[in-house]
Amino acid sequence: MSPAQRPSTVPGPKRAVTPALAPAEPGSPVAGAPQRPRPEKPFRFTLDLDRAHHQFLKDYALRAETGASKVMRALLDELRDDPELAGRVRDRIWRAPDRRPLVPQNAEERYPRG
C-alpha cells in the first residue's frame, strides 16, 4: 500500500511572468517585429548521379565559387527561360538509350518542340 500523500513542503514552481504587450494599432509596425513575410519552405528533390556527373557538378560549383544546389537552380531557371535550350535537353533525353516517356501523351501540345 502506498503512503498517504502529504502536501509538499517545496513551494510550487513560479513561472516567469512578463507583462503582455499592448495591442498594436492596425497598420502600425510593432517594435522589433519583422517586416518581411516568412519565406516559402523549399521542396527537397533528390537526384542520383553517376560518379562522373557528380564530380563535374562539384568541380563546376567550386570554380564558380558557389554550391551545387545553386548551380542546379540556375540550370532550372535557364531551362525554363530558354526554349532553345529546353529543346536541346528534350532531344538529348529522347535519344538516350534508357529513354522512358515520363510525361502524358498530350505533352507535345503543352510543350511543343521549338
pLDDT at 92 over 70: yes
The pLDDT of residue 96 is 79
C-beta separation of 113 from 90 below 8 A: yes
Domain that holds residue 78: 69-97+107-114
The pLDDT score that the predictor gives to residue 35 is 78
| CA distance linking residue 29 with residue 35, whole number of Å | 8
**Does residue 29 sit within a domain?**
no
Confirm whether 114 is domain-assigned.
yes
Per-residue pLDDT reduced to its tens digit, 12-62? 555 555 555 555 566 655 666 667 888 889 899 999 999 999 999 999 999
Give CA 103 to chain center in angstroms. 24
Number of domains forming the structure of the chain: 1
Domain-embedded: residue 78: yes
The residue that leads in pLDDT, 11 or 85, is: 85
* 8 A C-beta contact, residue 84 and residue 70: no
Amino acid 91 reads D
- The residue assigned the cell 502600425 is 28
The answer as to whether 18 is a domain residue is: no
In-domain check, residue 56 = no
